[in-house]
Structure 1
Amino acid sequence: MGEYTANDVNNQSKLKVKEGNVLYESTRGNLHGQTASQAITLGMVPNGGLFVPSAFPDLNWQDLEGLTYGEVAKRVMMPYLTDFSEEAVSQIVNVYSDGTFDGEDPAPLVSLGSFGVLELWHGPTAAFKDMALQVLPDLLRISLKQFNRDEEVLILVATSGDTGKAALEGFKDRKGMHIVVFYPEGGVSPVQERQMTTTEGSNTHVVAVKGNFDQCQTAVKQIFGSDTLKAQLQEKQLIFSSANSINWGRLLPQIVYYYWAYLQAVKQGKVPSGGKMNVVVPTGNFGNLQAAYYAKRMGLPLDRIICASNSNNVLADFFASGVYESQRAFYQTISPSMDILVSSNFERFLYEMSGRDAEKIRTWYDSSRQGTFTVDPTTLKACQDTVYAGWANEEETLETITRSYQTYQYVFDPHTAVAMKVYEDYRSETKDQTFTVIASTASPFKFSSNVIRGLDGVNQESCRDEWEALKRLNQLTGWEIPKGLQGLENKPEKTVSSCTPEGIADLIQTMFVG
């Protein structure tokens, strides 16, 4: 495939098609022509690679004005679900209005003057993952029927904090579905851990892994590629799928809230009709940011997409140099959901930035490279023209929580604070006055101890009791503790298995093969 210019990559109108023709292909060129049901059921490409849509439907934001969130979700998702009935999609998106999310607006845009905060944490687990993981179980259920699969599904999830609980909550007690969540022992907040270990449902399992998130994620991916284990599970009438954002069914619903953010910004008079808007996304696995990019490709008037990283700044370094180097020091931070060095969805982004060159993707992601590769100058320029990247360290994150509360009387969790700091750096560097939306990915109450450190400067020792910190944060700010976190410390915990990353496959075999 020939070289693409940055302009070609960002304006590939050739790849846009009419509604009804979207199929799915692998980023590595090893599978084509898959339906939405096939892509969602499989989760990831069996022999390596991620599913991407063959084309990006045009969707004019003006056609969505005045609609509810659920109605917008249906309009955004339908063109990608061409083997789903309209009635089925209507039922799926009903979750946004049936009381699962707090209030009438599941993702309110709070204006703080020259920028806005898109609160994506009003679901049952107080994190943005709910926006997709309350939808994915039904997408998967219908996909299985469409795909003519009668087996039960074993869903494996590696989590850096928030995905685990959101996936458990979405899939608990779902008939014909089993879910196992792996989280890094000591690598999530006490609230995140307790959320997972108190999940109800006889089909839910939680495993603490003696390693970091990248090791969990790598082990799970290897299991997906194990023909031996798949054959053994097949004998038990079980097939694998995933609830991580490697699954297209997880990523698709995330496109919706960027359209919703723009519609609200226009309605609030922050963006002129048809004017450009920036978004800032705190990210580790790149899925949330990839969804913003897909919204832009569909025609949403987004200008700069700003990538915010914490001290695990592998993405910021890449955008500066074109070198992706995951074999580096790993830091446990106060924004643990971003403690990731192997960003799975970045493969999807590079596929687009390289002009959909599957050969390049295969070369860059060859296992012999051990997570380190350098992209060509044309691809790098396309990346830099599309995304601005920055990062914030621990001290800067806490200072941002302090400063933002003093200035705006608004409480940021540590992940959103990282995004705020990177946005401030971007604005200082570029002088760009475009109205910007910051994706707020978690309630500050999920990280109460560290948020309090930022708000009133108390030392770490006095914040060790996470449950007392929840109450203190409520008293200090007047903000209400999310329902899903109230009384969490008193709920009974389920038995948590433990293993090393290398032992994950054996554990799955023991649990489900016997």
Structure 2
Amino acid sequence: MLRVVWNRHLKLMTRTAVSDVYLKLIFSRSSVLAWKSWMSIHSLVGDKNIILMGPPGAGKTTVGKIVGQKLGCCFIDVDDDVLETAWNISVAEKLKDLGNEQFLEEEGKALLSLSVSGSVVSLTGSNPMHAASMAHMKKNGIVVYLDVPTQSIMDRLKLMKVDRIVGQGPGTSLRDILQFRKQFYKKWYDVRVLCENEITAEAVADKVLHAVKWHQNSEAEGFVSTRRPRYDEKDEQKSPTKYFSDAVVEGLAPDGGLFVPELGLPKFSAGEWQTLLGTTYAERAQTILEKCIHPADLPASKLWEMVEIAYGQNFACSKIAPVRHLTGNQFLLELFHGPTASFKDLALQLMPHLFAYCIPQTCNYVILVATSGDTGSAVLDGFSRLKETDKQRIAVMTFFPDDGVSQIQKSQMIGCQEANAKTVGVKSDFDFCQSAIKQMFTNSDYTGFLTMEYGTALSAANSINWARLLPQVVYHASAYLDLVEQKVIPFGSPIDICVPTGNFGNILTAMYAKLMGIPIRKCICASNQNNVLTEFIKTGLYDLRGRRLMQSLSPAIDILKSSNLERHLHLIANSDGQLVTELFSCLENQHCYQLREELLEKLQQDLVADWCSEEDCLGAIHSVFNTTGYILDTHTAVAKVVADRLQDKTCPVVISSTAHYSKFAPAILQALRIGEIKQTPLSQLHLLNSYNPLPPVHRGLLETLKKNEKQNYQACAADVNVLMDHVEALIQNRFMKVF
């Protein structure tokens, strides 16, 4: 009766128009309190319910009651208030009478009859296995998944003396059925609450409320350019807010800066990280990424679909990014098990799906990529795996320095070309390719012409694109968790991470993992002879005056202008976009800039750096092979040399093994002092394979080269206008003109 009266008066009054005095004229004192309590949840979720989902023993009922009390609203336990009320017998008796399948159907029918609003509802553990009833509940509710580690659930059920749950039968263990149910939980939840061991029900309830507020407040999840000036809140010139989907689609900010989350990255507690021990790489990726991507941009269930495709059958190792002990307290993070044999696959098997989901349906897109070797083939491969309907409106163009990549890398890129994906060699270096793409993005006449003439916009898949950079956080965090699982360290003990880098993206994501709560002590930046980053980290002077790019045995880090360094400078400068603009303006015009002393000190809190000569690189490959039988690629060897110099051996160091040695066969053969070096990439790999190396020659790369050994490609002059013509030619061949 009270609900009917409330609904009648809601049509007449707004929340602000209702006063306690007027309410007392209508209702009793208890009714007034009930009204005010209902308004409390109404302000949080409107007419929707908060629906708690999770396995038996997750604490849904206990937590739900506390949440209901905090909001002063109705709490409904499906077991007690719906099922047993409807059936007049206990749930356990009903399950015994009906058996698993019929019980699920009857349970689902009962839930379909539930129609409430503004309430907290605790589901049964098996409700999510009935699709129709969950769809019914989700229409008017925010589903919160109480994610409790399986072993904790097992321990709780043992204390509760529960020896059978729905779906369990002869030959099926309790652990197996709990694992089986996860696929249904993944399908339905809107937000997840990680319930670490020993957490109190009160603390979980607070997490639930925080998660629901976050879900409802999509406006807070904005992205800004690293070059955006600070505005007063009343300043009318403030740029409109950009969101994750905008950052993904646009790639580069309109002012030439890079997108970063305005409020920074989310932080996990130590207990929350520990809930990910024993989970798969895909599960870790999902948990981390869903906290970084608001469900208004990408629902958790959609993200799960993409993650499972990206990290499903495309990697040669089931662990995706395994950690291998090398020697002493050095460990290798193997990032080369993807289809194109480099760390770029860890992001670029996922990023195309994010991009295809985020772009508007009314526009075509061309992805522009500058590559120093590995990114090109990874982008081409990743976008080739999209659905045909997506490939009809997304094309890819990669530019690489014609003499600045290995022959195998070049063959790989050429072989990955499709109708909507082309690669072009440029008679210059990587920095020119990257600069040319930035010029195309910021050339309003050119981009406007493409939009008007072809209905086509430009975007990027380099690590300047946030969706390309973000997934790389996962493997640094996962490596730490693997070391804990392997009992190398207890959780909380620090590690160092050593990364060979030129564009600064890979090492930046290690620092992001640290910001999110992974106990990383130092990030070690390893350069080759193009050591501008090393000098900058040591001195604060970024100096390109009179400096020329030198080709090396580790071409993926042959870079002088490090794009992602801009994001880190924005971070340590407390989001001072004006300062970042000034620094990069100096770099553009005067070819150098100098950090202030206090910023240099902040930079050096997390970073140390050194560089490796060509001779030392080859020596490290030879030495490691002789002592362990393991072959490092040339980039990993650079990191190994620098780690040897800079680690103080008081904690483990994880060396990012960023590519498979197969991609750099001539240098490996030289390092191993194998006299006869065959001429073709395919014969080089066969020669290496004859030595039974560890790890084995990359099979995917071997198969690609067999298929594409004689394919041709185009090479062009180092002229931005020529590159623009290549882009337009691809568009003409792929997309129709707009009339």
Q: TM-score, normalised by structure 1?
A: 0.92
Q: Secondary structure at the match of 1:229?
A: helix
Q: Secondary structure at the match of 2:605?
A: helix
1:76 lines up with 2:296 in the alignment: no
Gap change, CA 1:200 and 1:366, over 3 Å in 2 = closer
CA distance in 2, matches of 1:260, 1:275: 15
Equivalent in the alignment of 1:485? 701
CA distance in 2, matches of 1:187, 1:81: 36
CA distance in 2, matches of 1:156, 1:269: 43
Equivalent in the alignment of 2:414? 197
CA distance in 2, matches of 1:72, 1:32: 33
- Superposed CA RMSD in Å reads 1.8
What does residue range 426-437 of structure 1 map to in structure 2 within 5 Å?
Answer: 426-427=646-647, 431-437=648-654
Correspondence for 2:226 among 27, 30, 33: 27
Equivalent in the alignment of 1:11? none
Equivalent in the alignment of 1:351? 570
Equivalent in the alignment of 2:257? 49
CA distance in 2, matches of 1:74, 1:216: 33
**What amino acid maps onto 2:653 in structure 1?**
T
Equivalent in the alignment of 1:220? 437
Gap change, CA 1:449 and 1:495, over 3 Å in 2 = closer
Conserved in 2, the CA contact under 8 Å of 1:25 and 1:32?
A: no
Correspondence for 2:621 among 396, 401, 404: 401
CA distance in 2, matches of 1:310, 1:48: 28
CA distance in 2, matches of 1:127, 1:176: 27
Equivalent in the alignment of 1:8? none
Q: Which stretch has the larger CA shift, 385-394 or 196-205?
A: 196-205
**What amino acid maps onto 1:270 in structure 2?**
V
Q: Secondary structure at the match of 2:580?
A: helix
Q: Which stretch has the larger CA shift, 385-394 or 350-359?
A: 350-359
Residue 513 of structure 1, CA deviation: 5.5
Equivalent in the alignment of 1:260? 478
Q: Which stretch has the larger CA shift, 22-31 or 124-133?
A: 22-31
Equivalent in the alignment of 1:294? 512
1:102 lines up with 2:341 in the alignment: no
Runs of 4 or more off by more than 6 Å in structure 1?
A: none
Q: Which stretch has the larger CA shift, 433-442 or 148-157?
A: 148-157
Q: Secondary structure at the match of 1:366?
A: helix
Q: Secondary structure at the match of 2:366?
A: strand
CA distance in 2, matches of 1:137, 1:472: 35
CA distance in 1, matches of 2:276, 2:221: 21
1:160 lines up with 2:160 in the alignment: no
Q: Which stretch has the larger CA shift, 368-377 or 217-226?
A: 368-377
Q: How many residues in Structure 1 have an aligned counterpart in Structure 2? A: 490
Q: What do residues 199-229 of structure 1 show as CA deviations (whole Å, max 9, x unaligned)? A: 1421011101010000011001100111111
CA distance in 1, matches of 2:240, 2:669: 50
CA distance in 1, matches of 2:530, 2:478: 30
Equivalent in the alignment of 1:180? 397
Correspondence for 1:119 among 334, 341, 356: 334
Equivalent in the alignment of 1:86? 300
CA distance in 2, matches of 1:388, 1:177: 40
1:248 lines up with 2:466 in the alignment: yes
Conserved in 2, the CA contact under 8 Å of 1:232 and 1:513?
A: no
Q: What do residues 24-62 of structure 1 show as CA deviations (whole Å, max 9, x unaligned)? A: 111001656311000000001022100011222112321
Equivalent in the alignment of 2:560? 341
CA distance in 2, matches of 1:361, 1:499: 33
Residue 67 of structure 1, CA deviation: 1.5
1:443 lines up with 2:443 in the alignment: no
Correspondence for 1:378 among 575, 578, 598: 598
Residue 384 of structure 1, CA deviation: 1.1
Q: Secondary structure at the match of 2:463?
A: coil
CA distance in 2, matches of 1:268, 1:126: 25
Conserved in 2, the CA contact under 8 Å of 1:26 and 1:32?
A: no
CA distance in 1, matches of 2:311, 2:352: 17
Gap change, CA 1:65 and 1:241, over 3 Å in 2 = same
CA distance in 2, matches of 1:244, 1:157: 6
Q: Which stretch has the larger CA shift, 400-409 or 254-263?
A: 400-409
Residue 481 of structure 1, CA deviation: 2.1
Conserved in 2, the CA contact under 8 Å of 1:158 and 1:183?
A: yes
Equivalent in the alignment of 1:468? 683
Gap change, CA 1:349 and 1:200, over 3 Å in 2 = same
Conserved in 2, the CA contact under 8 Å of 1:96 and 1:106?
A: no
Gaps of 5+ in 2: 1-209, 230-238, 734-739
Equivalent in the alignment of 2:344? 129
Conserved in 2, the CA contact under 8 Å of 1:76 and 1:256?
A: yes
Conserved in 1, the CA contact under 8 Å of 2:415 and 2:705?
A: no
Conserved in 2, the CA contact under 8 Å of 1:69 and 1:96?
A: no
Q: Secondary structure at the match of 2:478?
A: helix
CA distance in 2, matches of 1:124, 1:487: 10
Conserved in 1, the CA contact under 8 Å of 2:247 and 2:466?
A: yes
**What amino acid maps onto 1:483 in structure 2?**
R
Q: Secondary structure at the match of 2:571?
A: helix
Q: Secondary structure at the match of 2:632?
A: coil
CA distance in 1, matches of 2:595, 2:692: 46
Equivalent in the alignment of 1:497? 714
Greater C-alpha radius of gyration = 2
Equivalent in the alignment of 1:388? 608
What does residue range 297-376 of structure 1 map to in structure 2 within 5 Å?
Answer: 297-327=515-545, 328-366=547-585, 368-376=588-596
Residue 390 of structure 1, CA deviation: 0.7
CA distance in 2, matches of 1:68, 1:462: 40
**What amino acid maps onto 1:392 in structure 2?**
C
Q: Which stretch has the larger CA shift, 401-410 or 123-132?
A: 401-410
Q: Secondary structure at the match of 1:365?
A: helix
CA distance in 1, matches of 2:361, 2:222: 19
Identity of aligned residues (%): 36
Equivalent in the alignment of 1:207? 424
CA distance in 1, matches of 2:494, 2:362: 47
Q: What do residues 88-145 of structure 1 show as CA deviations (whole Å, max 9, x unaligned)? A: 110111035421111321101001241110000100001110000000111101111x
Conserved in 2, the CA contact under 8 Å of 1:36 and 1:80?
A: no
Q: Secondary structure at the match of 1:40?
A: helix
Q: What do residues 172-225 of structure 1 show as CA deviations (whole Å, max 9, x unaligned)? A: 262311000000011100110000001142101110101000001100110011
Equivalent in the alignment of 1:509? 728
Q: Secondary structure at the match of 1:311?
A: coil
Residue 80 of structure 1, CA deviation: 1.8
CA distance in 2, matches of 1:398, 1:103: 27
Gap change, CA 1:269 and 1:181, over 3 Å in 2 = same
CA distance in 2, matches of 1:288, 1:196: 21
CA distance in 1, matches of 2:646, 2:468: 29
CA distance in 2, matches of 1:345, 1:285: 6
